[in-house]
Structure 1
């Protein structure tokens, strides 16, 4: 706690006892010594006007002061307190006081009985009171009664004759030792005032006193001189006006009520209403973090530490005796030497205990480190064996294979810079792919999966071996793996130009992809899948064919990758799956119903990829917010309505003939047959795409003819589509990966 709340209903300075005043004076001295050039103004605001320091809540300029505490600094550098419009002489932050320049009210020629004249008023606005203990009311003149009238926080008696509160009165006469002066204390809670002169002709002696004066001034400022009564000396000497001390507060509630105000509670450093920094703190409590800790050790006279070692702490200090000495209270009594027998014994005990404690810590730490190492080694061995590492290692030793690299955990941490996020190439629901750099500066892609299909170790190793032996220009090579983790980490060759999905859908201002490039990428991808299906007389079903799994190299040649869902099928058999795998929008309907993963499942998914290429729509696309449509279903429905041409990407419809687009859409349709046996094989798909590409440059351009929307379906598919009522499903918004 670094600020205290000093709430006073009457705001009477008499509440501060002599002891409290002494403490505050000491605190003020410390602040002057420690704050030095540190500004007590709001950050970024002027802290001085001329020679007058302006601490917060006072301030010069917008956002620099609290409401009611604005100060204007004119070119002559004489600050003006805007609430009263009077010159500001000094601000005392510790006692919550402000000294301003008051007026001296002067009247002459009051000769009639009960004549009354009102002097200049001094408005003291909200949050300010005229200090009762620091000011006094003074009247000068002969046969003159001076009154102080004004506004008070607590109404006193109202004089019906003059219409304002009569607060204090002082009568000055010149018939007793020629005094001509009187003074009287002012009451509490005076907010604003104006002097009133009231003459009684029965006792008036005008020849002695041509003028009468009345004013409130700081106690001790004024020394009376008899010449002030009979001449203009007072006005000539003090025409600028006397100093007046105002008390100020930042709020008019109790401390408890103020704390409930929340963000509008003005004592921002901690709790208070008139704020002072707590004991052992200095600074401006009206600013956030404005109170700073005092180093008590720099002030031994105030914070004693008799021949001990002083240590400053936050909000306090500690005092300890040097080694070999003792004291019950080092702050108040001196440290004395410890008897020698006691000292030697304590030193021995301390040294022995310390050495024993250090040895215990070292032993425990060494045991824990050794335990963790053994635990990690056992886990690595367990996973290595569980993932078929022993089988793979034996085959590598027997030189049956030389196409797989076995990486350790440490190897992959090194090549990926400990899986640095800046090395991420892609992140999805199944895992993250990182860019890795091997010792020979070869760049690789490291796939760190979250889940893995549960298969036998021998089967997994066999898949790794076969996949690593694949050698086709349109298949991303599997270089190796790490089997020391629960889910094996696979390492592929690095393909630099991102995915087909990004190339089609996220071109970021690039020119539209040409029809030739789209057909070429489709043909290359089809040839890669054909190679997998015919590989080594044992079909490899990819299982998750989609545009994000087709990469583009530095020449934008297609590379099929991500065999995380691949399955190597025994010849003339299909794989019965226990759980659905793949991506929404690309899944084979027959596979969803029968859980049978075949080469024709890849054909269906590839048909969706063809649709993406010619329509530039995603597998699940949104025509309206929150309403997703299945691209394959929408395409088949458009075929049924003879409106499939309207779905084509407008950037390519002006390149080929209707017949060419009819061939492409027919190819996609045959890939998307609901029955797997009616779909083309990947060999047929690749051949068909090759033939379409050959005829592309020999055809006439369609131009901008809007009739492209009315592409007729082939006779083969017309009968089948018209015979099936296709309903386009609507799905919630989902991702496309």
Structure 2
């Protein structure tokens, strides 16, 4: 026995001897560099005074061959497998207390549980590394890790991370644990849960899920343990499923289960900013301090760039002589500098002199290369400029050809001149009118294009809409608006003065309306020009008259399809004009509806049209009803400030009127100036316009007639402010709004919002 002891001791000192004399020490001078096969870098050390405090003291057991190092953590002597002081910095230890198992007697229902110890690293210099994960083996079992991290204290609810292991049920003999970088990875009878950096407490749990998922348990036992991740995407770990059948053998053979885990280590209990002010600061010269994390106290030391060595050992990290590896290119001289190096090209050469950089190039050759490159670049730019001009000319020619083809086809289909009374303007005339489309002349923007204020040569002030780009859809809308407006002559419809086809982007010329949109007048009113009740009633009457004209009095009925307050403009006398006919449609006299892709603006869109894609004259009536609500309430059609149920103004209004609480939603100006009977009459009319069933709504002719009678006679029948509750409840059954119809947030189901909110 004594001879064996001396042999062990001789082997230990033989292992330490060569490294003790190594010039590049990572350990404290005079202290062992290793224990057996394990290197012991400072701040760890074997022996008295060889480590940076008791937390890093290593005990080398020389009674084994080879000797084995041990570290005491909270009174547990744990075998050290490896200590890494580089990146990543961690220590690998053998922790034989982590296996948790549970077995269910499938006949009696009895449960046998054998639990390992939890990991408790509080008040130590160690935490669990993120290089570990919890592995659960079993079928229909729930593996759970309860952890405490960072500044959390014992008694906190902690963090619960879990995974479920499923088996395919084919009674295969092999289980497979995945080995990839995904969190909560699932294999065959095995799953894994990542463990967060900074974890100082870990408890493992297992639960049976077969009753919850209503499955028959395949195996009586399941296990859970902590294991290092290892190398990601290396061959997956597999195991024999028989261990899930033979519980007694599996528990007795604990040494065959993975036991090695990784711990992060750190210096002290303060982060870098505080540790630097302390006399025990461990980072030596030419090194810098590194925090472990925002919630993890303690720090590490790393050698600065260009230095190497042990940053914890005096006198610190030493400079690397980069010139030993000759990092400079030919014709360059290397000079080592503290933490870096420089390369200087020989006389007659230029460049940074570094390998992998520009190297050193002859000055004459460099000049010739520079001139050649500059000339080549110039020629390339000229070629690109010429090609761009050629492509633009071809595109413009093709665009004009397509535009005239569409206009010619449209003229043949309608049997009359598309432009009729519409004037064709020249490009130069409109450029001059807008000061070459000066940005200071912009008076509106929208989906279709930009609107400029201009003055023609005869002094007429006009609004000129310049399309953003001409694609097939915008070309159709452009022609559609020209064709419709050229056939309409109504005092409350914006007048199209002409158009221009001779520019890259077609232009439309309208009469100029200086007072902006009805939307702005309602929702952003000017104190000096308030929107009185009489003005609101007159505006509603004029818009209704214009729509009635489009539906019934024009030569071919026209459905506007985008009635909203931003498409209603005001002139200098506050006379309203309906505008933007880009998506409007001409309708044959015997047609009752149009089947189209749903287009319009949220808040104004007819719910029946949204569901059926069939647009009728009553769809314009619905949109007009929303405009009436804006005039009555002063609120926006869609508002995120209202509750979710009342986010849509139509449903919001119907809820108030159904509760006999009309005055609570009315605009203050309306309440103050509007006659009680007039306001109620208009509110009832709006309610009829907003009926979900189109056939129950009035026609625009009926709406216009009612509003005109209100203006003329100031409503003669007396109406009580409290609406007839039975009538309201009867109508409400036909006016219910579903969540789907009024929770739009994007252009789903083929809905397209109006392409232009900028108008002359």
Q: TM-score, normalised by structure 1?
A: 0.46
Larger radius of gyration: 1
Q: TM-score, normalised by structure 2?
A: 0.45
